[in-house]
Amino acid sequence: MAEIVFEIDEETGELTTTIRGLPGKACAPVGELLQQLLGAPAVERHTEEYSRARGQTRPQIRTGERR
């Protein structure tokens, strides 16, 4: 099962989103939905899960971090 983790900073209202359970490019449609609703992210990073699916050995973190 896939999930989106939303983290809202209660002091600033900033939102960070992380997409899990959709390795590689499978998360792209969800990322597009978030971008449609939230606008372009201030920062975007790939999760380790994304990198594994693409055969990379160096871990990266988070997809769709928004500030």
Partner 1 sequence: MSKYHVFAQAIFPSLELLLAALTELGYPREQVEVGESLSLFGYGDDRRPEVADVVIRRRWLHRASNDLGFQKTPSGYVPIVSEWDAGYLRRRHGEDFVVALRKAYNRAVIAEARTRLKGSLRPAVRQGTTTKIVLRF
**Residues at the site binding partner 1, with contacts judged by CB under 8 A:** 1-15, 30, 33-34, 36-40
Contact 66, 19 (CB under 8 A): no
Measured from the CB atom, is 30 or 63 closer to partner 1? 30
Task: Decide whether 15 or 53 has the Cβ nearer to partner 1.
Answer: 15
Query: For residues 16 and 51, which CB has a smaller minimum distance to partner 1 in the complex?
Result: 16
Shortest spacing between CB 34 and partner 1, in angstroms? 7
Q: How many residues does the chain have?
A: 67
Distance CA 65, CA 6 (A): 9
Question: Of 49, 33, 30, 40, nearest to 62 (Cα)?
Answer: 49
